[in-house]
Structure 1
Amino acid sequence: MKEGPDIALIGSLIGDPARANMLTALMGGQALTPTELAAQAGITLQTASSHLAKLEAGGLLTQRKQGRHRYYALSEDEVGLMLESLMGFAAGRGLTRSRPGPKDPALRKARVCYNHLAGDYGVRMLDSLIGARQIETAGEDDLALTDAGRVRIESLGIDYAALRKSRRPICRTCLDWSERRSHLAGSLGEALLTLFIDKGWAKREQNSRAVRFTAPGEKAFLELFPR
């Protein structure tokens, strides 16, 4: 391709298995050190540093320094959305790297997708909000919060004015790799996941993207977002 965006460059950055493993590890939304990412990729620290430099130069990662340590994270929401879409594409064609393990059902039920809720519960939440006409579709992939939706989220304690000030979309779709349907991303998706954790309804599993709901939290979530 002689003109237009260079998808070959992005493809080559993601296509390396070690880099793909590091990017997937960062889909949990947490910043990780080069040592932690090297362990995720199963490579040496020196090799990981070379890969991380390429991913940063390609605009997929950003790093920050804290004291003597360096931390890497996905550079923006779009990177997470792209990776989740690629996971869905691969899963839909049976392209998996290993057989599902014990954690697989938990990941399919509820997990972190960069900074918002994914899995069955993430899809359920978006479906419920659309069904209640609190979110409406605005084009093939775009979403918009309705007046009823604004009242609803403010009643939950979410600051709508703060969401509007963000440069990010308030609502947007993200193709769920396990459900192969859309869940809610954007600043509202992040705010809702933060709300569930702050309320003690759910917590993240250590060293995993899985989100575990407590019994009372699950009951509250299901009542809040009925099918």
Structure 2
Amino acid sequence: MKEGPNIAAIAALIGDPARANMLQALMTGVALTASELAQEAGVTPQTSSFHLSRMADAGLVSLRKQGRHKYYSLADADVAALLEAMSGIAMRSGMTRVRTGPREPELRKARVCYNHLAGEYGVQAYDSLIAREFLVEEDEKLVLSSSGRSFFTDLGLVLPSNETKRRPLCKSCLDWSARRSHLAGITGTALLSFFFDQGWAKRVEGSRVIQFSKAGDSRFHEAFSLQN
């Protein structure tokens, strides 16, 4: 008998088309009801509840009750990273949806990846921070340098000094569309919130797309320039 993690069971849960659509919908980082997820998956609310119960038992989604409503979200950042990595493999293998939809170019440009910025803009921010040694890769770990912390402070973003094993200060996440890294972890989450709070960018309702304003776009490219 084989021992160790049963990845086949997790893969089977994610592999169901309806469940996969629900998980992709939750990549926005916004909690959704079973009815809303049923619409995303194209199934009945009863079927949606069945799928969500199985995924909750497996630790893929978490449930929060508020009043008479139940809201579902991805269990944690590890689940989001798994889904993002699987999306990258699917793209590389040519396993894409037949109809890409009108928002496909916008998704590739800038989108929410659970709780941080992804797409071309996310990759640019990461590359800029690496090039200026604000982020340093040490022993397969991403470290925020003292100059990097000063950069974020000057930008107006105050970061915590502590981190946990489950929630590192900085973490790289493989971008499915660019197939390169973007920034996750505490810093990645804080940075995306900063963009929203400062009015640089906003979410497109009902989508993972992030749209930068004209002024926000200029500020972003100024802060995360790729020029040496």
Shorter-chain TM-score tier: over 0.9
* Aligned residue runs from structure 1 range 38-53, under 5 A: 38-53=38-53
Query: Once the 2 structures are TM-superposed, how far is the Cα of residue 168 of structure 1 from its aligned partner?
Result: 0.6
Matched, 1:112 2:97: no
In structure 2, C-alpha distance between the alignment counterparts of 1:81 and 1:74, rounded to whole Å: 11
SS in 2 for 1:5: coil
| 2:153 alignment counterpart | 154
Runs of 4+ displaced beyond 3 Å: none
SS in 2 for 1:3: coil
Query: Once the 2 structures are TM-superposed, how far is the Cα of residue 165 of structure 1 from its aligned partner?
Result: 4.8
In structure 2, C-alpha distance between the alignment counterparts of 1:67 and 1:99, rounded to whole Å: 38
* Aligned residue runs from structure 1 range 29-178, under 5 A: 29-140=29-140, 142-161=141-160, 164-165=162-163, 168-178=167-177
The 8 Å contact of residues 63 and 71 in structure 2, kept in 1 or not, is answered as: yes
Query: Once the 2 structures are TM-superposed, how far is the Cα of residue 30 of structure 1 from its aligned partner?
Result: 0.3
Output the amino acid matched with 2:133.
R
In structure 1, C-alpha distance between the alignment counterparts of 2:219 and 2:84, rounded to whole Å: 27
Query: Once the 2 structures are TM-superposed, how far is the Cα of residue 185 of structure 1 from its aligned partner?
Result: 0.6
Query: Once the 2 structures are TM-superposed, how far is the Cα of residue 97 of structure 1 from its aligned partner?
Result: 1.9
CA RMSD of aligned residues (A): 1.2
Query: What is the TM-score when the length of structure 2 is the normalising length?
Result: 0.96
Percent pairwise identity: 54
| 1:220 alignment counterpart | 219
| 2:199 alignment counterpart | 200
Q: Deviations over 1:114-163 (max 9, x none)?
A: 000000000000000000110011234x31100101111122232223x6
In structure 1, C-alpha distance between the alignment counterparts of 2:110 and 2:16, rounded to whole Å: 28
Query: Once the 2 structures are TM-superposed, how far is the Cα of residue 100 of structure 1 from its aligned partner?
Result: 2.3
Output the amino acid matched with 1:98.
V
The number of equivalent residue pairs is 225
Q: Deviations over 1:58-111 (max 9, x none)?
A: 000001000000000001000000000000000011101223221011000000
SS in 1 for 2:208: coil
In structure 2, C-alpha distance between the alignment counterparts of 1:55 and 1:98, rounded to whole Å: 26
| 2:208 alignment counterpart | 209
SS in 2 for 1:164: coil
In structure 1, C-alpha distance between the alignment counterparts of 2:129 and 2:15, rounded to whole Å: 36
Query: What is the TM-score when the length of structure 1 is the normalising length?
Result: 0.96
In structure 2, C-alpha distance between the alignment counterparts of 1:6 and 1:138, rounded to whole Å: 31
In structure 1, C-alpha distance between the alignment counterparts of 2:163 and 2:181, rounded to whole Å: 25
